[in-house]
Structure 1
Amino acid sequence: METDTNSASQIGNDAAEAPDGEAMGRMIREARKAKGLTLEDTARAAGIGRSTLSKIENNQTRPSFDIIRRLMQTLELETPQLFLQSAKSDISGRRDYTRAGEGEIKQTPTYTHELLCNELTSKSMVPYISTVTARDVSEYDDWVRHNGEEFMFVLSGELTLVTEHYRPLEMGPGDSVYYDARMGHGLISTSEEDAKVLWVSLGL
């Protein structure tokens, strides 16, 4: 199965928290090195200063959402989970919304993700809608796996949830499942139309 994420999310002391600054910096540094890029190369491509990138990788500054977005694009890290910073926040009340069909689109070989309510840079869950384009297990290079837990609700179409430790699970509209996302998993559309699901990822 495919790793839609070439880099897994890291979990902190609190299982309900998104990656903290240290984990974010580590993900960026490892992705940069995996691509054979220097600090200068990456910073130039992302349109930021070398010293800023160095501080991000070493958890010496908290980057803005725009900088995170540019780094993710530069390093080709398209997983929705990686668009989070820390779940720690001093804001006691906040709100974000996404109008129908206006989420941010991210495509992978096996999914088309629509990120929802993604203007908030610190939150403890990641909601997104995915269209499952994979039709066979062979379309995945490896298992999809990352830290945390996931809830999935089938919106339309039919699909098979394939997991590392269980038999394939046939699912249809209205069905839902909750699972440990560290367990290898992947979806395959089995209906004539591509299946569509709502995903909520927790504790990244």
Structure 2
Amino acid sequence: MQDTEAMTAEHEAGSVARILSDMRRENGWTLAELSKRTGVSISALSKIENGQSQPAFSVLTRLSSGLGVDFADLLEGRSGSARFARAARTINRRGEGKRLENDMGVYRLLATELAAKALTPMVIDIPARADRAEPARSAHSGEEFVYVLSGNVIFEMVPYAPVILAEGDTVYFDAASEHGFYATGPGNARILSICYSGSGAAPDHLTV
């Protein structure tokens, strides 16, 4: 399993590096120009292109938004997927979805076959917070709706006190406020998260 996950991470990193390199060459952009467009530092962009760094989720979303490339296409190294339009439809069967992992948890991105969506649906497995671990945090443009599918999670959001959400509970919030989740343990919890960007671009997550 670990070997498979490592191969998946290497594929994602390689796909992103290829997209960045191709777009820079086609448009004649320098790393400085690409940094200005995406908000990602020149040093980070250089490491990604050279395969020295696997981009975090927050970096991927900024690249997606700044380059006008759908989030799923960026991960897969595709030039484009079917764009959302009248009568567009896509189905994900149970367990399907694009896998992505960061400090917040393990994500399954849904409906990745459609580009330029206003909504970004995800199923996220949320781990418990390790002792003395720094809390994972996120903040991004738009709005977010979360439904707890299983387990209990603690939801933290500035400026409110932490609150426990049980299975079946929901929260709808301004995603620009710093926020985060962690399971009450000892096992993982699972949530459905739907982010609304309002622009057809992936939410611009900051560092988590």
TM-score above 0.5: yes
Taking structure 1 as reference, are residues 178 and 70 closer, same or farther at Cα in structure 2, changes over 3 Å only?
A: same
- 1:30 equivalent among 33, 39, 50: 39
- 2:126 equivalent among 116, 121, 132: 132
Taking structure 1 as reference, are residues 109 and 122 closer, same or farther at Cα in structure 2, changes over 3 Å only?
A: same
Taking structure 1 as reference, are residues 70 and 28 closer, same or farther at Cα in structure 2, changes over 3 Å only?
A: farther
The equivalent of 1:91 in structure 2 is: 85
The separation in 2 between residues aligned to 1:196 and 1:154, in whole angstroms, is 6
The separation in 2 between residues aligned to 1:171 and 1:67, in whole angstroms, is 33
Taking structure 1 as reference, are residues 126 and 36 closer, same or farther at Cα in structure 2, changes over 3 Å only?
A: closer
Cα deviation for residue 157 of structure 1 reads 0.5
2:149 and 2:192 in contact (8 A); partners too: yes
Greater helix percent: which structure? Answer: 2
The separation in 1 between residues aligned to 2:116 and 2:108, in whole angstroms, is 18
Q: Percent identity?
A: 24
2:148 and 2:191 in contact (8 A); partners too: yes
Cα deviation for residue 58 of structure 1 reads 8.6
Taking structure 1 as reference, are residues 138 and 150 closer, same or farther at Cα in structure 2, changes over 3 Å only?
A: farther
Task: Structure 2 unaligned segments of length 5 or more: list them.
Answer: 1-33, 52-63, 198-202, 204-208
SS of aligned partner of 1:35: helix
- 1:103 equivalent among 86, 97, 103: 97
The separation in 2 between residues aligned to 1:27 and 1:113, in whole angstroms, is 28
> What TM-score, normalized by structure 2, do the two folds share?
0.60
1:152-171 equivalences under 5 Å are 152-171=146-165
- 1:68 equivalent among 74, 80, 89: 74
Cα deviation for residue 28 of structure 1 reads 6.4
Cα deviation for residue 164 of structure 1 reads 1.1
The separation in 1 between residues aligned to 2:162 and 2:168, in whole angstroms, is 18
The separation in 1 between residues aligned to 2:172 and 2:124, in whole angstroms, is 16
Taking structure 1 as reference, are residues 58 and 162 closer, same or farther at Cα in structure 2, changes over 3 Å only?
A: closer
The separation in 1 between residues aligned to 2:159 and 2:141, in whole angstroms, is 16
1:141-152 equivalences under 5 Å are 143-152=137-146
The equivalent of 1:178 in structure 2 is: 172
1:28 and 1:57 in contact (8 A); partners too: no
The equivalent of 2:193 in structure 1 is: 199
Cα deviation for residue 122 of structure 1 reads 1.2
Cα deviation for residue 70 of structure 1 reads 5.1
